[in-house]
């Protein structure tokens, strides 16, 4: 996970930015003499600044006689200062529109073809049904004296709401207690697993002694609320498509077979994609749960998704993703609603020596094109006089 924000300004900031960009371009350790001319500073001064950045854990020296390369923290500082400023796609891309009409898998494959062609990196697309999404957070909002709104945030960043009549009256303090207990107990489980565990635990608690202690009574009350609040659904499914794995082998960082094999093996694991979805949701933050204005206006009935709006492009560098097998990689990913039943993500996997601004812009633009293609395929947008822009 990410550490605390790093504060750097002035010449150290300029040197760090120049060193990161030079290393991204060359894949070779950066010496002070290389930066002297573009920065118009002496090699001695740059060397001193680079030593200070090394002391702060932002640069490292792979060999005593070599230049320096960025660390995970150095890349993180660089990425946090990027501002891609990508506008929404103005016109639907007809290739993606046609793919959307043919079905989810065809659309995912078309998205991967666009990403790999544009970036020369490994691309992925994840589509999860509601039941496969991992639970991230649940919140209770009081609608009136008799009804509550349960707001559920999934691992893919989709927000769903459910209006229900609580099994017992509850104060605001009790609602907060029930919320905390449910989140602590079930975070990281799929909704199917939650439903199964809830049923089993409630069976045990309901069969217990009515005079059991306060903790047991509170747990039972919280689970009764959870039984009403968590969305139900059908059997889970997770669809993952990956393309361009061969691009990893062409990167200097992965020319050693063992390193590339470790990454490729990780990309075959189902748990890897579930963890990345959860990491993406954590990165976007749970603050959207409390933006209930639109929900309250339309509340009533069973769970249904709320769109992300413009969404959020997440970047995970090294160990930030929480996936050990990808600790030598960087991941750029964004949430997407594929269709009415599937949400997930599109993104890229590559070396930490990645052109972050360009990759973030490419993923964001593709996500915008996919959203437009879905709208056209569903008949919500008119294609009359539509041009055919490039994919990315």
Do 245 and 118 belong to one domain?
yes
Domain end call among 179, 196, 229: 229
Domain end call among 229, 255, 290: 229
Averaged pLDDT, 85-102: 64
Do 266 and 352 belong to one domain?
yes
Do 372 and 265 belong to one domain?
yes
Identify which of 196, 118, 135, 148 has the alpha carbon closest to the alpha carbon of residue 360: 118
Distance CA 193, CA 132 (A): 9
Do 358 and 295 belong to one domain?
yes
Distance CA 101, CA 373 (A): 9
Query: Could you tell me the residue range of the domain that residue 314 belongs to?
Result: 94-130+237-377
Confidence of residue 288 (pLDDT cuts 50, 70, 90): very low
Residue 344 lies in a domain: yes
Domain end call among 166, 199, 229: 229
Averaged pLDDT, 368-375: 82
Do 212 and 289 belong to one domain?
no
Distance CA 68, CA 63 (A): 9
Number of domains in the chain: 3
Task: Look at the block and give the residue holding tokens 């217990």.
Answer: 208
DSSP character at residue 40: T
Residue 309 lies in a domain: yes
Do 270 and 323 belong to one domain?
yes
Q: What is the pLDDT of residue 346?
A: 94
Averaged pLDDT, 238-265: 84
Domain harbouring 52, CATH code = 1.10.10.10
121-136 tens-digit pLDDT: 999 999 887 556 678 8
Residue 88 lies in a domain: no
Residue 390 lies in a domain: no
Q: What is the pLDDT of residue 3?
A: 58
Q: What is the pLDDT of residue 7?
A: 77
Strand-pairing partners, residue 345, are 126, 335
Residue 388 lies in a domain: no
Q: What is the pLDDT of residue 81?
A: 86
Q: What sign results for the dihedral spanned by CA atoms 131, 132, 133, 138?
A: positive
Residue 333 lies in a domain: yes
Alpha carbon separation from 196 to 23, 33, 93, 128, 193 (Å, rounded): 50, 63, 42, 19, 5
Helices 72-80, 10-26: axis angle to 10 degrees equals 110
Q: Please check whether residue 149 is in contact with residue 208, taking contact to mean a CB–CB distance below 8 angstroms.
A: no
For residue 22, the Cα-to-chain-centroid distance in whole angstroms is 28
Q: What is the pLDDT of residue 47?
A: 94
Domain harbouring 166, CATH code = 3.30.390.60
pTM exceeds 0.75 for this model: no
Residue 392 lies in a domain: no
Q: What is the pLDDT of residue 133?
A: 67
Does residue 268 or residue 97 have the better pLDDT?
Answer: 268
Do 205 and 265 belong to one domain?
no
Q: Please check whether residue 168 is in contact with residue 221, taking contact to mean a CB–CB distance below 8 angstroms.
A: yes
Q: What is the pLDDT of residue 249?
A: 85
Do 48 and 168 belong to one domain?
no
Do 120 and 269 belong to one domain?
yes
Confidence of residue 256 (pLDDT cuts 50, 70, 90): low
Is the model's pLDDT at 190 over the cut of 70? Answer: yes
Do 225 and 241 belong to one domain?
no
Residue 113 in 3-state DSSP? Answer: helix
Is the model's pLDDT at 282 over the cut of 80? Answer: no
Is the model's pLDDT at 56 over the cut of 80? Answer: yes
Is the model's pLDDT at 111 over the cut of 70? Answer: yes
Do 242 and 372 belong to one domain?
yes
Averaged pLDDT, 301-326: 67
Residues of the chain with pLDDT > 70: what percent?
Answer: 78
Q: Please check whether residue 392 is in contact with residue 118, taking contact to mean a CB–CB distance below 8 angstroms.
A: yes
Is the model's pLDDT at 12 over the cut of 60? Answer: yes
Residues of the chain with pLDDT > 90: what percent?
Answer: 40
DSSP character at residue 46: H
Do 370 and 268 belong to one domain?
yes
Task: Look at the block and give the residue holding tokens 């001064």.
Answer: 45
Residue 224 lies in a domain: yes
377-390 tens-digit pLDDT: 554 434 333 333 34
Strands 159-164 vs 238-243: parallel, antiparallel or unpaired: unpaired
Q: What is the pLDDT of residue 380?
A: 43
Stated length of the chain: 392
Q: What sign results for the dihedral spanned by CA atoms 288, 294, 300, 302?
A: negative
């Amino acid at each position: 996970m990410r550490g605390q924000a790093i504060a750097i300004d002035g010449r150290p900031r300029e040197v760090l930015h120049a060193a990161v960009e030079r290393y991204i371009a060359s894949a070779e350790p950066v010496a002070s003499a290389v930066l002297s001319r573009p920065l118009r500073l002496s090699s001695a001064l740059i060397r001193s600044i680079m030593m200070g950045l090394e002391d702060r854990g932002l640069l490292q020296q792979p060999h005593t006689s070599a230049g320096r390369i960025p660390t995970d923290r150095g890349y993180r500082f660089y990425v946090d200062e990027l501002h891609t400023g990508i506008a929404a796609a103005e016109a639907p891309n007809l290739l993606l529109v046609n793919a959307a009409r043919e079905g989810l898998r065809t659309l995912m494959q078309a998205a991967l073809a666009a990403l790999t062609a544009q970036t020369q990196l490994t691309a992925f697309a994840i589509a999860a049904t509601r039941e496969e999404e991992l639970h991230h957070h649940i919140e209770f909002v009081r609608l009136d004296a008799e009804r509550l709104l349960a707001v559920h945030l999934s691992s893919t960043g989709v927000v769903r709401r459910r209006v229900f009549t609580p099994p017992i009256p509850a104060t605001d303090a009790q609602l907060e207690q029930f919320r905390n207990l449910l989140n602590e107990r079930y975070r990281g489980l799929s909704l199917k697993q939650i439903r199964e565990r809830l049923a089993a635990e409630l069976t045990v608690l309901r069969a217990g002694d009515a005079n059991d202690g306060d903790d047991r009574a509170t747990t039972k009350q919280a689970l009764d609320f959870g039984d009403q609040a968590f969305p139900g659904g059908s059997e889970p499914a997770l669809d993952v498509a990956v393309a361009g794995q061969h691009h990893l082998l062409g990167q200097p960082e992965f020319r050693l077979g063992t390193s590339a094999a470790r990454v490729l093996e990780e990309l075959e694991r189902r748990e890897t994609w579930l963890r990345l979805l959860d990491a993406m949701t954590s990165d976007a933050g749970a603050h959207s749960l409390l933006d209930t204005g639109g929900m309250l206006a339309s509340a009533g009935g069973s769970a249904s998704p709320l769109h992300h709006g413009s969404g959020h492009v997440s970047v995970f560098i090294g160990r930030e993703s929480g996936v050990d097998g990808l600790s030598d990689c960087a991941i750029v990913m964004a949430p997407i609603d594929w269709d009415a039943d599937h949400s997930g993500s599109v993104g890229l996997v590559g070396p930490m020596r990645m052109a972050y601004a360009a990759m973030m812009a490419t993923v964001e633009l593709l996500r915008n094109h996919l959203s437009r293609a879905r709208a056209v395929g569903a008949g919500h947008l008119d294609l009359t006089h539509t041009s055919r822009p490039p994919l990315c």
